[in-house]
Structure 1
Amino acid sequence: MAKSRLSNAIVADYLRRIGSREIEPGTPLPPEAALCAQYGVGRSVVREALQALDAKGFIIVKQGSVAVVAPRHRWHVLDRDFLDATNPAEYFPLLQEAREVLEPALANLAAERISDDALAEMIALNHQLAEQHDDPERHADLDIAFHDAVARATDNVILVSLHSSITGLGQRTRIAAAAVPGAIDRAVFWHERIIDALRSGDGIGAGAAMHLHLTQVREELRATQTQSTDEEEGAS
């Protein structure tokens, strides 16, 4: 097996253990020799894995000392490898809070700068979304594309980059929310309200419509979490 694949396996295992709280912040990792024995690999593989975990913010590596699990505020929780290795639902409420701070402001600014082409793109995406009721992943992709179009309409590359950074976790929340009856129809409805405000250059209206849309999404995510809790209690 290639060295990179071996190191990726170590990274995934530690991301899972850190994310599940099996290993708490401040906990020292075993020395390199112990890690080599544990995973049956050479030092170069272990060092590559430790460097990757350090770059992702989950451990702190200092020359001449044992690596330790980093404080939670340093974790790159939007890292795709971390999301794949853990239960991302824990971060759904935090993502929703971030969206409610960022996206109404994006819609407000977009109303001042939106082009006819950007508006046409949003309309087309919303029409496609209205036809998606059986494929949650396709729904997620189209919904992300719509909100990305709003961000790009601000013509501010920094804001676009900030918005893009949350789409990995955002795909997961959208797939979960799509399971709630009527969720897609409600999304289409609020997208239409956002489009109407953007078309008329009404920044306050666009921001308000986006806020109400995200309030709707928050309730749908709450419904999915309530359902998951009920299913877990019923299985116990």
Structure 2
Amino acid sequence: MLERELSVGTMSAQVANHVGARIVSGEFLPGSALPIESELCEFYGVSRTTVREAVKSLAGKRLVEVSPKIGTRVLPFSEWNLLDREVLAWRLQAQFDGKIVEDIFEMRLCFEPRASFLAARDGTAEDHALIEQHFRELVAAHEQGMPVKTISESALEFHLAIINASHNGLFVTIGSAVKSALRVSSEMLQRHATRPSEDVALHDAVRTAIVARKPKEAASAMEYLLAASRERLLPLTVDAAE
């Protein structure tokens, strides 16, 4: 049961979050119908307005389609907006397995090395200063034994600073959209890190090449960092499944 004293907007977001997670986890299969409006109202203890807003949100993410004749049906996986932050977060929560890790890193390998190339070539002095700042924060977090979330946030901000420094609008949009995926993978890596100094060294190689304005070296360093991260993270998904 959801908290009744929350605003309608917040309540609808909670309902959407719960139903969306149920869809992504496979509880509601593609082609199947969601429970009718009155059933959802009773199940969640909310008004029809709240349920309608929640369903509208899920339709906007292409998880469901609403039809006056057939009701609300779950759309095929191919229709889902997989770059939507919430959809991605639901997938990670529901099925953090090797396939999703591969998908995340294949996507990152498609644009982060190039973003590093562009950051080295086209990044401003301010861009590079921000990358330096986030790298120093990452180093300090490691040296001070900060909590995993603090370290992973520092690493996340470092990567986002590089993406922003590319000045490629589409890269920046993708980086923002997949922030939840970057955060989850970063936290997993940091939580199971056995050689933190190696992680710092990999980030340092990227930073050094970017601020030295060596585009090719920056791209190669980022590709190596991502490949190493993927190889460290994949075995963890096997452990989690077991």
Aligned to 2:152: 140
Equivalent residue in structure 2 for 1:50, among 55, 58, 61: 55
Structure-2 residue corresponding to 1:119? 128
CA distance in 2, matches of 1:226, 1:81: 24
User: What amino acid maps onto 2:139 in structure 1?
Assistant: A
Q: Shift of residue 69 of structure 1? A: 0.3
3-state SS of paired residue (1:67): strand
Matches within 5 A, 1:14-93: 14-82=19-87, 83=89, 86-87=93-94, 89-90=96-97, 91-93=100-102
Deviation at 1:227, TM superposition (A): 3.0
| CA deviations over 1:81-111 (Å, ceiling 9, x no partner) | 4425833624333111111111011111222
Q: What is the TM-score of this pair, normalised by structure 1?
A: 0.86
1:42-66: CA deviations, max 9, x gaps?
3322212211111122111134431
Would the aligned equivalents of 2:83 and 2:174 in 1 still touch at CA under 8 Å? no
Tell me how large the CA RMSD over aligned residues is: 2.3
Distance 1:123 1:43 in 2: 51
For 1:185-204, list aligned pairs within 5 A.
185-204=197-216
In structure 2, which of residues 171, 175, 178 is the aligned counterpart of residue 159 of structure 1? 171
| CA 137–88 in structure 1, closer or farther in 2 if over 3 Å, else same | farther
* 1:57/1:75 contact within 8 Å kept: yes
The residue number in structure 2 matching 1:96 is 105
Matched residue type, 1:57: R
Cα distance in 2 for partners of 1:142, 1:167 equals: 13
Residues 35/218 of structure 1: CA separation in 2 closer, same or farther (3 Å cut): same
Change (3 A) 1:121 1:38: closer
The whole-number CA distance in structure 1 between the counterparts of 2:86 and 2:120 is 35
Per-residue CA distance 1:105-132 (angstroms, 9 max, x = gap) = 1111222112223223222322221232
| 1:223 alignment partner, SS class | helix
Specify which of 216, 219, 223 is matched with residue 211 of structure 1: 223
Conserved? CA contact 1:130–1:184, under 8 Å: no
Q: What is the SS of the residue equivalent to 1:30?
A: coil
Residue in structure 2 matched with residue 225 of structure 1 by the alignment: 237
35-44 or 48-57: bigger deviation: 35-44
1:219 is matched by which residue type in structure 2?
E
**Structure 1 residues 106 and 52: CA distance shift in structure 2, 3 A:** same
Residues in 2 aligned to 1:227 and 1:36: alpha-carbon distance in whole angstroms: 38
2:183 alignment counterpart: 171
Greater displacement, 132-141 / 80-89? 80-89
Letter in 2 for 1:227: D
Aligned length: 230
Judge conservation of contact 1:180–1:223 (CA < 8 Å) in 2: no
Counterpart amino acid of 2:238?
T
Shift of 1:187: 2.6
- Please report how far the alpha carbon of residue 141 of structure 1 lies from its aligned counterpart in structure 2 after TM superposition: 1.2
Structure 2 residue matching 1:181: 3-state secondary structure? coil
Separation in structure 2 between the aligned mates of residue 81 and residue 155 of structure 1, nearest angstrom: 25
TM-score normalised by the chain length of structure 2: 0.84
1:144-163 deviation digits (Å, cap 9, x = unpaired): 11111111222223321222
Structure 2 unaligned regions, length at least 5: none
Q: Is the 8 A contact 2:120 2:213 kept in 1?
A: yes
Cα deviation for residue 40 of structure 1 reads: 4.1
